[in-house]
Amino acid sequence: MRFSNHLTVPLLGIFALVASGCGDSGEQPAPAPSSKSAELSGDAATSELASPSSSSSLAVQEKPATAIQAPSSSAPLSCAADIGESAARKLVAQCRAVSPATRPPCNAENSCAMIRNEVARGCAILGEDFVKTPACASDPIGREAAADLVRRFYDAVNARDYAAAWSLWGPDGNPAQTLDQFASGYAQTRRTHVEIGKVSSIEGGAGSIYVTVPVTIDAELDDGRHQRFTGSYDLRQINRGMGISQGWHITTAKLRPA
């Protein structure tokens, strides 16, 4: 996949990585300047907020997020430390009830976001059988599940589990932005908060379904300043009738300074 353009302009303290396009799995990022949004044309696109630290169908066998090691010097916040050992054990049990992978994702020493990502993936693989599994709280192809993915993305960032966040662009992360680049972008971000707007109706086409999730982002920097962004995330997943889905993933994001 090729791009006809690639724009890189840092914001003060945070990047709004903005791109537009269409594609099945390869997502390409591009930052936007603070005065306006930037557009890319290409086969696919992605977006995420980050702080600058310097100038077809999916197979069940695809590697889980644990195969990617975060390069950050500070370890991700463990789920046990985040929500307590008892609650973490319950989440791990839910994960093991639906995960087709080996056990590493379902471990209380991982971030809660990584574990919840695996629960969502397992429920999507179950397809319509998700209703038989208590661990699957909502329809994996529904609007609620789409909003939940965006929340999990920012939960992963807040837990410093950049690998778990990066993997939500697709089963192989974002080929146009390495995990190191993604993680280093958050070097000066203390915490992010996301508010979800009204999720669009789900639309279908070419064997996939699509949905748009409006967001408002508040990012707190290490120096105490806040930066706000508004925009939306476009999500995609394979139609159940076309093969085995592993749930929603981000294909396009448009964020601009608020």
When pLDDT is cut at 50, 70 and 90, the band that residue 56 belongs to is very low
Does residue 5 belong to any structural domain of this protein?
no
63 vs 84: which has the higher pLDDT: 84
**Cα angle for residues 115, 116, 120 (degrees, 5° grid):** 120
* E strands, 43-175, in order: 49-50
What pLDDT does residue 27 have?
A: 35
Query: What average pLDDT does the segment 61-71 reach?
Result: 38
pTM of the model: 0.73
| 2 within a domain of the structure (yes/no) | no
Q: What are phi and psi of 233, to 5 degrees?
A: -115, 135
Q: Classify residue 109: in a domain, yes or no.
A: yes
Residue 125 lies in a domain: yes
**Residue 69 is part of a domain; what is its CATH number?**
3.10.450.50
In a domain, 7, yes or no: no
Measured distance CA(59)–CA(245) in Å, rounded: 8
Helix (H) or strand (E) holding 132: none
pLDDT at position 3: 28
Give how many domains the chain has, as a whole number: 1
pLDDT of the residue at 235: 95
- 88-115 pLDDT tens trace: 999 999 999 999 876 679 999 999 999 9
Q: What is the mean pLDDT of residues 229-233?
A: 97
Closest CA to 169 of 249, 72, 224, 103: 249
63 is in which domain, residue-wise? 15-257
Using one digit for the tens of pLDDT, what is the confidence trace for 164-185?
999 999 877 776 788 998 888 8
Residue 39 has pLDDT above 50, yes or no: no
So what's the pLDDT on residue 182?
A: 86
The closest alpha carbon to 158, from 49, 16, 19, belongs to: 49
> For the residues 140-160, what does the mean pLDDT come to?
96
| Residues 6+ positions from 150 with CB-CB distance below 8 Å | 194, 196, 213, 215, 233, 235
Is residue 94 one of the residues assigned to a domain?
Answer: yes
Percent of the chain with pLDDT over 70: 70
- 218-245: average pLDDT: 91
Alpha-carbon torsion angle 46, 21, 142, 121, nearest 10: -50
* 219, part of any domain: yes
Residue 8 maps to a domain: no
In 29-180, the DSSP E strands lie at: 31-32, 49-50
CA 241 to CA 252: how far, in whole Å? 24
